[in-house]
Structure 1
Amino acid sequence: MARSETSPAKRSDVLRDLLEEIEVQRLKKQEEVRDCPLPRLKRFTQQELADEACPTYKNLLVGRSLRMPSRQTLTRIANYLECSSTQRNNLLLAARYLPENLELEGDALQLALEQARHLMCTLPYPAMLVTHSLHVEAFNELFQRLFELPPLNTLPHTQRHVFSFFFRHDLPMRERSTFNDEATLVWQAGVSRSIHLFKHNNRLYQFEPWYQELVEQFCAIADIRQYWDRTPALPAKQGAPSKLILSRNALTEDWQPIQLQHIRISVCTHTYPCIMALLPLDEPARELFTSLGTAPAAELMRLV
């Protein structure tokens, strides 16, 4: 009979380490809310943790159970304790689970961004470079010309975000995307999917101060709040446009609706940073892209 990889004594040591880490986090949260005015949804007691996240918690504390909580249970405990990403990983490591794969930082992030910028400049399609928070790090000339945007470095830092492009009335993307009922429905579906993507990308960061501050900024933008808590729309069917845009041919100056499809291009082993590009789905879109790439510089400057 194969012997267990972890002996009972070793498992007990690991469980002790895990319970100590949980109690450190629980008592810290309890101290934070001690002087908060009532009503308070959470009191962060041992009994409440057992009721909300881990039914066997009190048995673990008194030694009636030595069964290590599953990774899923630890995720529930971390959510209940409103753990930051670092605190969540501390719980996982205490239980000898692999930590969550966090986003690139520092030099590794800068290298990936630089590689992505070089790649984006070679694409024959409008594209922008975004991080896991959907912050826009850069866009190429075709993207700028398609939506007649000012240079990115002239926009305030708080407006360099996908949601700002979607919602702000002083930027042309929203008006160009809601020119009739069909386009409005496609735009609303795209908004819903982008909000779902943002929440999914940052599910480990939802209790981080930067995340909460960013959500507050979003909710100050126009009418984004009415979309924030909606059930996300289903992904677009294969071949269906993810964007309908009313755009102007750079050579003829004719306005016409075009159909576009989003694709995401990862540039490293992490999902982000990534390039979001727009591919043409119909002949008017292909003609427009050709015009954006061949119009004389003077004409393009006049159109922007």
Structure 2
Amino acid sequence: MMNIEPDASHTPDVLRDLLEEIEVLRITRQEEGRDRPHPFLKRFTQQELTDEACPTYKNLLVGRSQRIPSRQTLMQIADYLECSMESRNNLLLAARYLPESLELEGNALRLVLEQARQLMDTLSYPAMLVTHTLAIEALNEPFQRFFAFPPLMALPRAQRYFLPVLFREDLPIRERSSFNDQAVKAWQAGVSRCIELFKQSNRLSQFEPWYHELVEQFCAVADFRLYWEQTPSIRDQYDVPSKLLLGRNATTEEWVPIELQNIRISVCSHMYPCIMAFRPLDDAGRSVFASFSSTQGSPFNAVRRR
């Protein structure tokens, strides 16, 4: 994203527009809190905004400073004021910065998704196509065969998200990721990374109604809420492999532990949609993947639940 500084010759007008925009948002939040106390006890005062988000804010209000806050500072103010994406962009526009780039929509999204599906179908590794909410738009055949995963259309659209899929006990991923203590730790670390990915990818939308509705939908699955609410210090388990699970060699029919690595493949200039693939990291994994490449048949004949 380009970061164009406001024209210095128009600074007084820009600053006036920006401060008006901030004050409207601040007073709105303050009035909302009169009848419903804020869960983090925010008071949304000018002094609190100065202390929490913009050290020069009170100086700007009284005219002791004429310097337009940086884009990063405006993002901090927007976070403090719990701005929606629309309000956040209104702040940026008031300061004469470019608005945040939104996700692809409509025909542009459909075109990129179709191109991504064609690319994904050429991969020999299990792969899925996801959007910024980790909604699963498509699965390739190696994914369905390896994970014994049902056709995507067999799942209601509300259930086609990778995060809850990791937790569901009626789907094979969690069961095959819990065959010993090390595998459980790897699964937990993978869940933590996916949750952080979801939060970072949707950071600017964290105050949007759809975000909260989607998280509540996820929290209805198994023990998802427990992991969602854990502190970062508990979740930081990056010293374990990306993924350990049981894979079935289609030639020998033997179940063996294998180690996988997650790979993200960009398909356009935006971060999403993207392809998430799984690459084997050990000889056992490479043998299992090779066995699927050399056998024919239905995905549900190739891999079964143990």
Q: Give yes or no for the alignment of 1:53 onto 2:53.
A: yes
Q: What percentage of aligned pairs have identical amino acids?
A: 65
How far apart, CA to CA, are the structure 1 residues paired with 2:165 and 2:177?
11
Decide whether the 8 Å contact of 1:241 with 1:281 is kept in 2. Answer: no
Match of 2:210 in 1: 210
CA distance in 1, matches of 2:249, 2:86: 49
- Alignment partner of 2:246: what SS? strand
CA separation of 1:40 and 1:189: change in aligned 2, threshold 3 A: closer
Return the offset for 1:111.
1.1
The secondary structure found in structure 2 opposite 1:246 is strand
The aligned counterpart of 2:129 is: 129
1:93-130 alpha-carbon deviations (Å, 9 max, x no partner): 21122322322222211111111111001101100011
Q: Structure 1 stretches of 5 or more lacking a match?
A: none
Partner of 2:158: 158
Q: What SS does the corresponding residue of 2:121 show, helix, strand or coil? A: helix
Give the drift of 1:55.
3.2
SS in 2 for 1:123: coil
The residue that corresponds to 2:138 in the other structure is 138
Is contact 1:127-1:276 (8 Å) kept? yes
The Cα offsets for residues 185-236 of structure 1, whole Å up to 9 and x where unpaired, read as: 1111111111111111111110011111111122222112222233142545
Matched residue of 2:35: which SS?
coil
> Shift of residue 37 of structure 1?
5.7
1:98 correspondence with 2:101 = no
Q: Which residue of 2 aligns with 1:261?
A: 261
Corresponding residue SS for 1:275: strand
> TM-score, normalising length from structure 2?
0.89
Q: Residues 61 and 54 of structure 1: is their aligned pair in 2 closer, same or farther, counting only changes over 3 Å? A: same
Q: Which residue number in structure 2 is paired with residue 179 of structure 1?
A: 179
Q: Which runs of 5+ in 2 are unaligned?
A: none
Q: Which residue of 1 aligns with 2:170?
A: 170
Q: Which residue of 1 aligns with 2:243?
A: 243
Equivalent-residue separation in structure 1 for 2:279 and 2:39 (angstroms): 51
| Secondary structure at the counterpart of residue 122 of structure 1 | coil
The CA distance in 2 between the partners of 1:56 and 1:241, in whole Å, is: 45
What RMSD, in angstroms, separates the aligned Cα atoms of the two structures?
Answer: 2.3
Residue identity opposite 2:30 in structure 1: Q
TM-score relative to the length of structure 1: 0.90
How far the C-alpha of 1:27 sits from its partner, in A, is: 2.8
Specify the alignment match of 1:291 in structure 2.
Answer: 291
TM-superposed CA distance for 1:47, in Å, is 3.3
Contact preservation (8 Å) 1:130, 1:137: yes
> How many pairs were matched up?
297
